[in-house]
Amino acid sequence: QVQLVESGGGLVQAGGSLRLSCAASGRTFSTYHMGWFRQAPGKERDFVAAISWSGGDTYYADSVKGRFAISRDNAKNTLYLQMNSLKPEDTAVYYCAADKIYSAVIAGRINYWGKGTLVTVSS
């Protein structure tokens, strides 16, 4: 099993950058595909980005393409989301997630979720 803890959220001005981290426990972390999701105030949880277990494949929501970058360091059991050119509409609670099926990560049909970290982008 995998336990996930997000960190790195906070308040940032529009146009700025922020890097989120997700620390995972478990010796089999490298076998799990990972993803980031977000939930804005009053909205449903949306897919942001996914990365395969090896880091060789990534997939992004259209809303963040060219601005966000997902990466992982399996040696450190850590997932990252580098967020650049942040916009007020990026304001949300960001969640990391893990599953053994890549398509399930993209679809949000995920077995393991973190508790989230809040990102607030001011205008």
Residues of the chain with pLDDT below 50 are none
pLDDT of residue 58: 97
pLDDT of residue 13: 98
pLDDT of residue 73: 93
pLDDT of residue 7: 97
pLDDT of residue 87: 98
pLDDT of residue 57: 95
65 vs 97: CA distance, rounded Å = 19
**pLDDT tens digits for range 40-74:** 989 999 999 999 988 899 999 999 999 999 999 98
CB 116 within 8 A of CB 5: no
What string of DSSP letters covers 73-87? Answer: EGGGTEEEEEE-S--
pLDDT of residue 115: 95
CB count in 10 Å sphere of residue 89: 11
pLDDT of residue 2: 84
